């Protein structure tokens, strides 16, 4: 006799949320890597300032996603 899963939809929603959150973390990590590469090859002052602001914003977003993962106990 199979056990009845009463909370199947809840498990599915948590799994989707977990996958999305971990995906967002990886996406931000890759974005930061790209931005640092752009910064290394940029010589125009205005563009350097712009990339620095983007790095700061992406870094804050990345740390936010990491914090959410940690609070929920998600690991990659």
Q: pTM of the full predicted structure?
A: 0.74
Low-confidence ranges of the chain (pLDDT < 50): 6-7
pLDDT score at 7: 47
Inter-CA distances, 66 with 3, 34, 60, 75, Å: 35, 19, 10, 10
Contact 51, 35 (CB under 8 A): yes
61-to-8, 18, 19, 24, 26 alpha-carbon distances in Å: 31, 17, 17, 9, 11
- The pLDDT of residue 76 is 60
Query: What is residue 39's predicted lDDT score, i.e. its pLDDT?
Result: 94
Q: Check residue 73 and give its pLDDT.
A: 87
The rounded distance, in Å, linking the Cα atoms of 51 and 39 is 6
Distance CA 61, CA 14 (A): 21
């Amino acid at each position: 006799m199979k056990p009845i899963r009463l909370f199947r939809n809840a498990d599915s929603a948590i799994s989707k949320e977990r996958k999305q959150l971990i995906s967002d973390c990886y996406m931000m990590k890759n974005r930061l890597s790209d931005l640092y590469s752009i910064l290394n090859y940029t010589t125009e002052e205005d563009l350097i300032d712009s990339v620095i602001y983007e790095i700061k914003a992406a870094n804050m977003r990345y740390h936010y996603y990491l914090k959410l993962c940690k609070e929920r106990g998600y690991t990659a």
